[in-house]
Amino acid sequence: MQNNGWDEFEIGAMLRSFDGEVKDIATTLQEDRNYSSSNSFTASVADWRIEKPVFNKDFCIDCQFCWIYCPDISIISRDKKMIGIDMDHCKGCGICVEVCPTNPKSLLMFPEQADEEAELAGWPEKDKEEK
Amino acid sequence: MAFDKMELRETEVWDGNFAAAQALRQAQVDVVAAYPITPSTPIVEGYAKFLADGYVEGEFVMVESEHAAMSGCIGAAAAGGRVATATSSQGFALMVETLYQASGMRLPIVLNVVNRALAAPLNVNGDHSDMYLGRDSGWIQLDAYSPQEAYDLNFIAFKVSEDHDVRLPAMVHQDGFMTSHTAQGVKTIDDDTAYGFIGDFKPMNDMLDFDHPVTHGVQTEEDWHFEHKARQHNDLMTKVMPKIQTAFDDFEKLTGRKYNIVESYDMDDADVTVVCMGTSVETAREVAKEMRAKGIKAGVVGIRVFRPFPFEEIKAAFKNVKAIAVLDRSAPGGTPGAMFNEIAGALYNTDERALLSGYIYGLGGRDLTKAHLVDLYTELQANVDAGKVTTPLQQFIGVRGPKLAFL
Amino acid sequence: MSEIKKIKNLKEFSTSADRFEGANLLCPGCAHSIIVREVLNATNDDLVLSASTGCLEVCTAVYPYTSWDASWIHIGFENGSTAVAGAEAMYKALGNKGRLKQPDRNPKFVSFAGDGASYDIGFQWISGCFERGHNMMHVVLDNEVYANTGGQRSSSTPIGSSATTSPAGRVSYGEKKNKKDMMAIMAAHGSPYVAQVSPNKWKNMVKAIQHGMAVEGPVFINAVSACTTEWKFAPEDTMALQDLATDSLVFPLYEIIDGTELNITYRPKNVVPVEEYLAAQGRFKHLFKDEYKYLIKEWQERVDAKWDYLQRREEAKV
């Protein structure tokens, strides 16, 4: 699109969310959608992050607090289970970590360059002081 | 259909407002969002009465301001259907923000503008200040000189505006009171034929197509804005005039009434000519004939399509003319009149560059009399005889006090 | 009438397929997005949306990207409500004329706008939409400031807040006026449903949205939106701030049905002192100087008085 001339856009700067026809989008999961290249789903804000969340499923109770309070639709929940983080869309705000109720937390923030395997291996123990 | 057709006589006695209201009824507009303002109010009153009497079906949204009227029209047009409204003067000025938004979003909307002066000082009468205020808004602007034309040009406006190659909103202008409130004979088109001329509304990028979600009204910054404005300008410059011409041709076949992008009267052999818009065209035509009886070869040019500006057609219309008076009915605000400037631009690079002078007249509904025009044609002939413009370039006509002229 | 989406608990809610997308340009930790998600996910019906100029609009439709999976329109700062009203009018017109492409749907018409676009510049447009009774919902993303343009005061900015056009300084404690009571104003329009919601109380909020979508007529939702940038707190603390807002009763959650019946919809088990809410935000930092501490006391008295008033209204059923 960057190289398109003025005559190659939809008039009125109109954008389409999807390529072709969509049926019942409200019950179609992201992986089954035919996103257009104009949908921000196809873009990334990964380079905004200074810190990143790492998910440790061993402690997760699938409460879905992280899902509902994520401002960036970056908590991937399927069949009522938290299955991972969408690292293209996560801006690293850290809300998911703050709202995680488990002990130890199932999500923790680490520097963007941190090695996920290493951080998981060194995950903190249960904190007895916490409620 | 849940509404009745209306039987019209072949010729009805309508003022310009009622003629426009009848056109909106016959177009079977889906949504009218409107706010009343003198002198355009009877258009939406007329539409409301047709609705109340069951002669049209649609949503009539009586909003709380002209800004909201055009905002509602934009929402309705983006949703996907036929949309129209009417306004004048201060209401038009309040709409201006949304006018740019409507055209930039490429939404077909027909706006009847009953021309009226802009305050201050407050004035309810006809001049072209509001029409000129819209001239850079990216709309199509058609100008009617009579109730008949106000009626006819509405059909042209819908047809061109809704064309998928155009998709630009269109204004139909008429002079406040002089046209809007002056009843004249109007030759009618029957309901089916009138609707058939415009045709069914064909949606495009419509928000109510839930299987194809669309985003309208995006942000474009320095990396994209220019291309979209360029595209809109390109379409105004290259696509609109041919579509208007086709619509005029089709309309002539249907009704026998012929319209031209630039109207020329007695121009075949004219030496001196007046160019103007609105009701003044008819006055000038009458005077031109009288001048010819006195031996002055006088002609009249009327601008029918003010936007896009008929650059080429103007060049052609003035091809063999020796002196031109451009009449601007709007306070120029520190410059020669807008139309003077544009016509000067159109003629500057022509070989037979005619002598050009500008006149400011009729502000706030002040009459342009035949006597004014006799003087004006006489001055033009004097210019021709002298081989140069003998008067200042800008003169005021019909204003009290010492002669007012500049440049 | 369409069926109301069944959302028993958060697990069930989490099966929703979002119609608002990531890689929008909202600040990390912005509550606007959380509010929008809870509104959109409250229904499976089709949506016709608008946003007035503001953070949400300017961050979700920046060419060549849109973050919206439903039809969406933006016109200007003041007229997002009327844009949706126009679309709703067209929906009615085409329905009556038998020209809808998908006549079997039950679209919901929702306009989103900030407090500036709702309380100030767009106020007349919203009032017009409500007076005319369009079948639509207007959702205010109330962060009490013009955040998109860098933090100028709006008529939603509360007393003592430091905004760029009402800054705290050597001789000023910042904003001098009390926040406009839009809930009362909109209820006075005779709206069938007016509610103040907060996304931390998601169940409460979704219930309000579903109620609002189920009734006929114009519905007003005032959603508290903690602004990490202008309220000046760390982005990860957004939900903590939302909790402080609701649990200190600075933002009491209540609804007004048909302009009269007022119900408190959330009663905090442990009411937090207003001081804690203020202390968590940089915009109120100066209030903790000795000379301005009286303002904190006044804040608490104001919040207590309002809560008392709401309870008396609820009890009196007027």
Region of C39 on the Ramachandran plot (φ > 0 left; ψ -120 to 50 alpha; else beta): alpha
CB-CB contact of B279 with B179 (8 Å): yes
- Across C81-85, average pLDDT: 98
Answer yes or no: do A16 and B220 touch at CB < 8 A: no
C24: chain A residues, CB-CB within 8 Å: 40, 72
Say whether the peptide bond before residue C279 is cis (omega within 30 degrees of 0): no
Q: At residue B1, does pLDDT exceed 60?
A: no
pLDDT tens per residue across span B112-139: 999 999 999 999 999 999 999 999 999 9
pLDDT tens per residue across span C118-136: 999 999 999 999 999 999 9
Please indicate, yes or no, whether residues A37 and A52 belong to a single structural domain of this protein.
no
Distance CA B240, CA B229 (A): 16
- Across C189-213, average pLDDT: 98
Q: At residue B375, does pLDDT exceed 60?
A: yes
Number of separate domains in chain A: 2
Q: What percent of chain B has pLDDT over 90?
A: 99
Domains of chain C: 18-316 (3.40.50.970)
Answer yes or no: do A6 and B218 touch at CB < 8 A: no
Answer yes or no: do C66 and A17 touch at CB < 8 A: yes
Question: Is this prediction's ipTM beyond 0.90?
Answer: yes
Distance CA C133, CA C88 (A): 11
Query: Terminus-to-terminus CA distance in chain A, angstroms?
Result: 53
**Residue C255: predicted pLDDT:** 98
- Across C162-166, average pLDDT: 97
Q: At residue C2, does pLDDT exceed 90?
A: no
Interface membership of B203 toward A (CB under 8 Å): no
**C124: nearest CA partner in chain B:** B64
- Across B340-352, average pLDDT: 95
**A39: nearest CA partner in chain B:** B215
Answer yes or no: do A11 and B232 touch at CB < 8 A: yes
Amino acid at C245: A
Which among A15, A25, A63 has the least Cβ separation from residue C10? A63
Please indicate, yes or no, whether residues A81 and A100 belong to a single structural domain of this protein.
yes
pLDDT tens per residue across span B12-32: 999 999 999 999 999 999 999
Interface membership of B161 toward C (CB under 8 Å): no
- Across C5-18, average pLDDT: 98
Interface membership of B256 toward A (CB under 8 Å): no
Which among A14, A21, A23 has the least Cβ separation from residue B214? A14
φ and ψ at B375, to 5 degrees? -60, -40
Q: Per DSSP, what are the bridge partners of residue B276?
A: B302
Answer yes or no: do C44 and A67 touch at CB < 8 A: no
**C202: nearest CA partner in chain A:** A68
Minimum distance, in Å, between the CA of residue B72 and any CA atom of chain C? 4
Amino acid at C126: I
- Across B153-168, average pLDDT: 98
Q: How confident is the model at residue C57 (pLDDT cuts 50, 70, 90)?
A: very high
Answer yes or no: do A12 and B216 touch at CB < 8 A: yes
Answer yes or no: do A12 and B220 touch at CB < 8 A: no
A15: chain B residues, CB-CB within 8 Å: 214-215, 218
Q: At residue A128, does pLDDT exceed 80?
A: no
Please indicate, yes or no, whether residues A68 and A92 belong to a single structural domain of this protein.
yes
Chain C: touching chains (3 or more CB pairs < 8 Å): A, B
In a domain, A92, yes or no: yes
Q: At residue B220, does pLDDT exceed 80?
A: yes
φ and ψ at C254, to 5 degrees? -155, 165
On whether the B11-203+219-255 domain is CATH 3.40.50.970, my answer is yes
In a domain, A130, yes or no: no
Minimum distance, in Å, between the CA of residue B84 and any CA atom of chain C? 12
Domain with A72 in it = 44-125
In a domain, A131, yes or no: no
C236: chain A residues, CB-CB within 8 Å: 93-95, 97-98, 109
CB-CB contact of B57 with B31 (8 Å): no
Distance CA B236, CA A4 (A): 21
Q: At residue A130, does pLDDT exceed 60?
A: no
Answer yes or no: do A5 and B220 touch at CB < 8 A: no
**B219: nearest CA partner in chain A:** A13
Distance CA B282, CA B297 (A): 17
Minimum distance, in Å, between the CA of residue A4 and any CA atom of chain B? 9
In a domain, A90, yes or no: yes
Please indicate, yes or no, whether residues A31 and A1 belong to a single structural domain of this protein.
yes
Region of B388 on the Ramachandran plot (φ > 0 left; ψ -120 to 50 alpha; else beta): beta
Q: What is the DSSP string of B309-325?
A: --HHHHHHHTTT-SEEE
Answer yes or no: do A6 and B231 touch at CB < 8 A: yes
- Across B84-98, average pLDDT: 98
In a domain, A113, yes or no: yes
> Where residue A80 sits, what CATH number does that domain have?
3.30.70.20
**Residue C3: predicted pLDDT:** 85
C23: chain A residues, CB-CB within 8 Å: 40-45, 72, 88-89
3-class SS string, B358-386: EEECCHHHCCCCHHHHHHHHHHHHHHHHH
Please indicate, yes or no, whether residues A73 and A17 belong to a single structural domain of this protein.
no
Q: At residue B74, does pLDDT exceed 60?
A: yes
Q: Which of A23, A41, A50 to mutate to test the interface with C (most CBs of C within 10 A)?
A: A41
C200: chain A residues, CB-CB within 8 Å: 69
Please indicate, yes or no, whether residues A59 and A32 belong to a single structural domain of this protein.
no
In a domain, A69, yes or no: yes
Chain B: touching chains (3 or more CB pairs < 8 Å): A, C
Amino acid at B321: V
Q: How confident is the model at residue A129 (pLDDT cuts 50, 70, 90)?
A: low
Amino acid at C173: Y
For A2, C189, C199, C270, the CA distances from C243, given in Å and listed in that order, are 43, 30, 9, 11
Please indicate, yes or no, whether residues A32 and A56 belong to a single structural domain of this protein.
no
Please indicate, yes or no, whether residues A56 and A119 belong to a single structural domain of this protein.
yes
Please indicate, yes or no, whether residues A21 and A54 belong to a single structural domain of this protein.
no
CB-CB contact of B95 with C76 (8 Å): no
Distance CA B64, CA C134 (A): 14
- Across C212-225, average pLDDT: 98
Higher pLDDT, B2 or B367: B367
Interface membership of B104 toward C (CB under 8 Å): no
For B283, B327, C50, the CA distances from B290, given in Å and listed in that order, are 11, 19, 59
In a domain, A17, yes or no: yes
Q: Note whether B11-203+219-255 and B262-406 share their fold.
A: yes
pLDDT tens per residue across span B142-153: 999 999 999 999
**Residue A127: predicted pLDDT:** 80
Distance CA B297, CA B291 (A): 7
C17: chain A residues, CB-CB within 8 Å: 25-30
For B29, B280, B287, B288, the CA distances from B370, given in Å and listed in that order, are 40, 10, 6, 10
Query: What 8-state DSSP symbol labels residue B80?
Result: S
Q: Which of C91, C77, C82, C92 is nearest to C128 (CA)?
A: C82
Please indicate, yes or no, whether residues A87 and A32 belong to a single structural domain of this protein.
no
Domain boundaries, chain B: 11-203+219-255, 262-406
Please indicate, yes or no, whether residues A77 and A31 belong to a single structural domain of this protein.
no
C234: chain A residues, CB-CB within 8 Å: 94
For B210, B211, C72, the CA distances from C46, given in Å and listed in that order, are 7, 9, 11
Region of C23 on the Ramachandran plot (φ > 0 left; ψ -120 to 50 alpha; else beta): left
B230: chain A residues, CB-CB within 8 Å: 6
Q: Which of B208, B227, B231 to mutate to test the interface with C (most CBs of C within 10 A)?
A: B208
pLDDT tens per residue across span B282-294: 999 999 999 999 9
Answer yes or no: do C14 and A68 touch at CB < 8 A: yes
Chain A: touching chains (3 or more CB pairs < 8 Å): B, C
Answer yes or no: do C89 and B62 touch at CB < 8 A: no
Please indicate, yes or no, whether residues A57 and A121 belong to a single structural domain of this protein.
yes
Q: Which of C183, C100, C82, C104 is nearest to C140 (CA)?
A: C183
Average pLDDT of chain C to the nearest whole number: 97
In a domain, A106, yes or no: yes
Minimum distance, in Å, between the CA of residue A99 and any CA atom of chain B? 33
Whole-model pTM?
0.97
**C66: nearest CA partner in chain B:** B215
> Domain B262-406 adopts which CATH fold?
Rossmann fold (3.40.50)
Higher pLDDT, B146 or B353: B146
Q: How confident is the model at residue B2 (pLDDT cuts 50, 70, 90)?
A: confident
